[in-house]
Amino acid sequence: MRKTEDYAECTYCGKTEKADYICVESHYICEECRLAKPEEIVRKTCMSTKMLDPLKVAVLIMKHPAIPIHGPEHHYIVSCSILASLRNLGVFNIDGFTFGRAISRAKRIVYGSCGLLGVCGAAAGVGIAVSIALNANMMSDKERSLAMKATSEALDAIQRLGGPRCCKLSTYTAIITAVRFFKIELGISIPMNENLTPCWFRFRNSECLKEKCPYYV
Ligand SMILES: [Zn+2]
Ligand SMILES: [Zn+2]
């Protein structure tokens, strides 16, 4: 961190203001975003980001101090990062209310549901994004099937990795599966070039899967 008098753009919400401190790589985070709670930082970031890569959006959000190393916040981080990327690609009608809807749906999935219900919330987060993008509900035909297929593919990829749970690994895996799903099922190419290795969070997670994790080193 270094002191500055320059104007800088907030890495999270995109607002430009007179900065006080910026990091050595010139990143700046505005005061509102510094104090934001998890839901707020997810909504603000996803509403303003211009990034196309949903993994980059998710990693940026997960680096925010309000996001714990593990927790149910990851369920809506997955949905909202995918929806932000789709909005930036201009492929679905995604507006400012979309993220609030995704968050309220994802919040119904309890923490630890992977082990307790057999449904990882990050996997369900993919289904939520597909459901919202396609306007699915329980009465829909193809859209309902696609939402469930998206969740089941993400879930299968996550279960193969073993445990204990790592919400970062589940988030990476869910988003990577979603990108493949959108390409195969809907013909939508979502760019993805975030380099996940080595995982930025590996030293903060006391239950890190280490060598068992594809992104450890
Ligand atoms: Zn900000
Ligand atoms: Zn920085």
Q: Which domain holds residue 104?
A: 37-212
Instruction: Let me know whether 62 and 149 are in one domain.
Output: yes
Query: What percentage of the chain has pLDDT greater than the value 90?
Result: 93
16 & 46 share domain: no
Q: How many domains does the chain have?
A: 2
Whether 210 and 158 have beta carbons less than 8 Å apart is answered as no
Q: How far is the CA of 124 from the centre of ligand 1 (A)?
A: 28
Q: Phi then psi for 27, rounded to 5 degrees?
A: -80, 145
Is the residue at 217 inside a domain? no
Kindly report, residue by residue over 33-76, the tens digit of the pLDDT.
999 999 999 999 999 999 999 999 999 999 999 999 999 999 99
Around ion ligand 2, residues with a beta carbon closer than 5 Å are 23, 25, 27
Q: Are 97 and 9 members of one domain?
A: no
Query: If you measure from the C-alpha of residue 102 to the centroid of ligand 1, how many angstroms do you get, rounded to a whole number?
Result: 21
Q: What angle do CA 164, 113, 126 make, to 5 degrees?
A: 95
Answer yes or no: are the C-beta atoms of 29 and 9 closer than 8 Å: no
- In this structure, are residues 28 and 85 in contact, taking their beta carbons and an 8 Å threshold? no
**Predicted complex ipTM:** 0.84
| Residue 200 binned pLDDT confidence (cut-offs 50, 70, 90) | very high
Mean pLDDT of 120-149: 98
Q: Is residue 107 part of a domain?
A: yes
Q: How far apart are CA 144 and CA 162, in angstroms?
A: 28
In the reported structure, the alpha carbon of residue 199 is separated from the centroid of ligand 2 by a whole-number distance in angstroms of: 16
Helix (H, G, I), strand (E, B) or coil at 3: strand
What's the gap in Å between 17 CA and the centre of ligand 1? 9
Please indicate, yes or no, whether residues 120 and 159 belong to a single structural domain of this protein.
yes
Q: Would residue 151 count as lying in a domain?
A: yes
Q: Tokens 């949903």 sit at which residue? A: 54
Based on the domain organization, do 120 and 23 belong to the same domain? no
Q: What is the pLDDT of residue 3?
A: 87
CB contact set of 82 (below 8 Å; sequence gap of 6+)? 54, 125, 126, 129, 175, 178, 190
69 and 153 belong to one structural domain: yes
Tens digit of pLDDT for each residue in 169-187? 999 999 999 999 999 999 9
Residue range 99-116: mean pLDDT, rounded: 97
- pLDDT at residue 5 greater than cutoff 90: no
* Ligand approaching nearest to the C-alpha of 31: 1
In whole angstroms, give the CA distance from residue 131 to residue 117: 20
3 state SS of 22: strand
Q: Which residues contact 95 (CB under 8 A, 6 or more apart)?
A: none
Same domain, 64 and 18: no
